[in-house]
Chains A and B, each alone.
Chain A
Amino acid sequence: MTRVVPYLALFGAALLLPLFSNDYWAVIGARAAVYWILVGGLNLVVGFGGQLAIGYVALLTLGAYTASVMVARYDLNPFLSYGAAGVVGAIAGVIVGLPALRLRTFYFAMTTLGFATIVTQVALAWQSVTGGGIGLSGPALPAPFDSQWGFYLLAVALAALVTRLSANVAHSRFGRSLVAIRDAEVAAEAVGIAKPRLLATVFLFSGACAGVAGGLFATLQSYITPEAFSFDLSVTFFIAILVGGRGSILGPLIGNIILTLLPEFAAPLVAWSTFLYAALLLAIVLAMPGGIAALLDFRNRRPLPANRSIVPQPLRIAGHGTARGAIELKNVVLAFGGVRAIDGLDMTIRPGEVHGLIGPNGSGKTTTLNVISGYYAPQQGEAFLGTTPLPHGAPQARAALGIARTFQTPRLIGEASVLDNVMIGATIEGRASFLESVLCLPRHRADEKRLKARAMDALATVGLDALADVRADRLQHSELRFMEIARGLILNPAFILLDEPAAGLSGEEIKRLGELIKAMAQQGIGVLLVEHHADLIFDICDRVTVLNLGRELAAGTPADIRAHKEVVSAYLGA
């Protein structure tokens, strides 16, 4: 509950402002609120999703013109015109945002700038509707919103609403997924996050916010012309988020207030204001990438206990109810350039068994794992789950089939808590739609409760429950390995693919890992274990496949492998 205190303080202060000041501060305050309505939505795109939309003034422009045209030319009720602006903003948000699915950071940033230019030019050229360079009046509100304070209170109320709604999104599986595609896109795919749909939804939401903000902006300005929508304004929105800190709502909220108020207190510096914002951006990136949010994150500054240890409690694992048979590779071939990374491999991973996969570097172990988890499509042969072929090139479809995985280098979301990192694993099990999450309806709350409980169970299983609230980038390497396993376990998987989970672990930790893996198998989970630690493999595996140059060199029980002459001479160094 302490989480809401700063918001209550800020908005409480906003409600008290009229008692202490004059209309001037009403205008400045309303401006900060209106900008926040845009920035709050954009924050999900930039701060959470990591999509660098620097031309968002395009949506403000569209919203402002839509609302103004609706009122001036069609005599629409001004409040309805804000709604229309929101709808247009939402649609345009998706159009502006869609290139993000195909384009990388800089390219996407450039396309948003392109949209901003196009919108302004169209506003100039389409004189019969927009008034061209002369512009048109913004929507005028009826009493009591026609006074500066009336409008201020309306804007503050909407800003509070946007804060709440965006916080709902942030603390839902959608918000966590956004951060996941920002910081760990590969892991996001592995847990079944569908990036196109997620981004389209979020662009829709933030576009609607920007559109409504545009309508309010037109009322605040009382009259709009294309000059009012400058690139500097767009940059200010963007910088407010980064100054505030990515992945936070409070930080950008404070950042937005500071950037709106600063020029009013520093009148002599007005000529240098854009220069100073730019310098601030550079300084933040170089010196304080966490922004204001990192400054305010007192909890994560407390030192963690130094002598902590990971003690798994493997009794809490639940098996996957609906196992559909074994994972089977049949004659799989995959070549990169001229090199055959996998060259005709047959392999079966059965539920309830630990299957070891060993071999020298470059023998195709991780490639095999990537074929099963869908990152690579086999050029010949096929991978099956039971009797159905696993879809090619669709890693995000594996989670739904109960196949989880970990990575050679842990793919963590550093700025999120350990708990959030684990909850990401069960994203596909959320039942609430985006709209239900935005509005915090019962199904969303039930989702959160259920996933949180399961994540705590998974963390307890791997022995990290004491660190649930800690930011993931503060964990030690070995802890991250167990965290990734927890992220897989929360899915109640039928299969889990572990890519060198023992790398970097101490002897004691490897022993505990072994017990954990055995316990998983006992609950019916099929485990594929890619590993270099021969001792671990022979201790816990039911079956072992030895790869060399993409082919099976030997396969069988650990005892068979130990007796296999070639393997012994080549790898085990008897």
Chain B
Amino acid sequence: MKLTRRELALGTIAAATIPAQARAEAEPIRIGWLAALTGPLASPSIGFDRGVRFATDEINAKGGINGRKIELVVRDTQGDPTKAVNATQEVISRFKVHAIWGPTNSGELLATTPIMARAKVPSLVAGVVNSLIDPTKYPNAFRVTPSNIQWDAAVRNYTIEKVKAKKVAVVADATGYGTAALADSVAGFKAANIEVVYSATIDPAQPDVSPDILRMKNAGADAIVAWTVSSGLAARLMNARAEAGWDVPIVGHPAMGTGEIGKLVTKPANWDKVYIIGYKSCSFDDAGKLPARTQAFVDAAKGKFPLNDTSLWWVVSGVDSIRLIAEAVEKTGSSDADKIIGYWNTLTNWPGLYGTYSFSTTEHNGFHTDEIVMQRANSQHDGAFALAPGYA
């Protein structure tokens, strides 16, 4: 449901005439959902969106929170930072939302986070860039996904401990995210005394990456660490690895597990030995079973929306975010920003579908590191993946 300005204005006039308590109960809980629903960066948002709507419908079907319905104010930002800034101000000033979820791309988030902080709107952050979270500068922002430090560590630890690589090659796509991730990753390996024998950014449009692969191979790399959201580049790396008759593992970004890759690899086998960042909650164990909580959700969601064309963690992350907001309102009996933020600051081991979260006034990176695992990139089923070797 979307609010027009007129309805909003009428609502405000009506609200002024009834007592504060009653007003708070009647007023819906408005959540701004800033999604990149179209454009080249749309896939994660489409997944998140399913979870967001699932959780909203579920809560509203039960009569809402303290009698208050949840109302989503959705804006498509197309992943464009300028549109994201406009949309953020719109949901804050025009729709007076009580909390915001999104936007979902780092370039957008970097721009919108200070704006939300200025307006003191409780916001849940789904972005890995480290600098997005700073409880002093942005006391209103809480991260519900891992940070890049956590991602980076997960990949590095797996590469060192499970792949047992001594020499690594690190590559990234030549985009904003890629160049930043490459620098962090290389620094991390060097700090761990692992030799980085090759590091480069690659233009996602580069038609053939076999020379890059050959140079990695000649340098004696034991593993390729890849940070790319470009399915074209990821598939080319895998194809070139196979053509070079080389079989070191590729470890890295979750985008290497999307269904698009499956269409782009020349042979299905090229997708083997590719390990991506994943989450315990969305991993099949050796018996092919999901954790019970996740399985219950999947069963409930089946038939409501497709699960196979998106990552499950995006969906469950969307569910968790809505539930986090709803619970804060329910427990504090108020949708005031201070109350919501205050409640989130007290959360310890909050059990979500996607992960377990803990926040405090000084730590807004709430996602537990031990929830992060590595998965086999080519094992997607219902949006979940099988654990990578070494976790048994």
Contact = CB atoms under 8 A, between A and B. Distances in A.
A540 interface: no
A264 B81 contact: no
Contact of B107 (A22, A121, A137, A228): A228
A125 B179 contact: yes
18 contacts: A22-B94, A23-B119, A24-B86, A24-B90, A24-B92, A25-B93, A26-B89, A27-B86, A28-B89, A124-B176, A127-B183, A137-B114, A222-B85, A224-B111, A225-B111, A228-B111, A264-B90, A271-B38
A225 B38 contact: no
Contacts of A40: none
A77 interface: no
Interface string B178-206: 11110100000000000000000000000
| Interface of chain B: mostly helix, strand, loop or mixed | helix
Interface in A250-289: 263-264, 267, 270-271
Given A134-B131, A225-B110, A24 B94 contact: yes
A415 B54 CA distance: 59
Nearest to B78: A270
Nearest to B183: A127
A133 B114 CA distance: 18
Contacts of B75: 267
A228 B82 CA distance: 6
A127 B105 CA distance: 20
A124 B113 CA distance: 21
B111 A221 contact: yes
Contacts of A26: 89, 93
B85 A133 contact: no
Contacts of A263: 83, 86
A261 to B, nearest CB: 10
Interface centre among B37, B80, B83, B175 (most CB of A within 10 A): B80
A137 B83 CA distance: 18
A271 B106 CA distance: 20
A152 B82 CA distance: 16
Interface in B147-197: 174-181, 183
B76 A225 contact: no
A28 B86 contact: yes
A133 B184 CA distance: 12
Nearest to A135: B110
Given A27-B85, A27-B86, A267 B110 contact: no
B180 A132 contact: yes
Listed from nearest, the 8 A-B pairs whose CB atoms lie closest are A133-B176, A271-B38, A23-B93, A227-B107, A133-B180, A24-B93, A22-B93, A228-B81
Contacts of B264: none
A134 B176 contact: yes
A290 interface: no
B115 interface: yes
Interface of B: 37-39, 75-76, 78-83, 85-86, 89-90, 92-94, 105-107, 110-111, 113-115, 119, 129, 131, 174-181, 183
Given A31-B82, A220-B85, A233-B82, 17 more contacts: A23-B93, A24-B90, A26-B93, A28-B86, A121-B174, A124-B175, A124-B176, A124-B179, A125-B179, A134-B106, A221-B111, A222-B115, A223-B111, A224-B111, A225-B176, A228-B111, A271-B39
A233 B89 CA distance: 20
Given A134-B176, A225-B106, A228-B111, A270 B38 contact: yes
Contacts of A225: 81, 106-107, 110-111, 176
Contacts of A232: 80
Interface centre among A121, A125, A127, A222 (most CB of B within 10 A): A222
Contacts of A501: none
B183 A271 contact: no
Nearest to B176: A133
A349 B181 CA distance: 76
Contacts of A134: 106, 110, 129, 131, 176, 180
B179 A132 contact: yes
Nearest to A28: B86
A127 B86 contact: no
A450 to B, nearest CB: 46
A148 B83 contact: no
A233 B85 CA distance: 14
Nearest to A233: B82
A226 interface: yes
Contacts of B177: 133
Nearest to A220: B85
A226 B176 contact: yes
Contacts of A121: 174
A230 interface: yes
Contacts of B107: 135, 225-228
A474 to B, nearest CB: 42
Contacts of B180: 127, 132-134
Interface in A514-557: none
Interface string A200-222: 00000000000000000000111
Interface in A2-30: 22-28
Contact of A271 (B76, B93, B129, B181): B76
Contacts of A132: 176, 179-180, 183
Interface in A169-227: 220-227
B294 to A, nearest CB: 32
Contacts of A137: 114
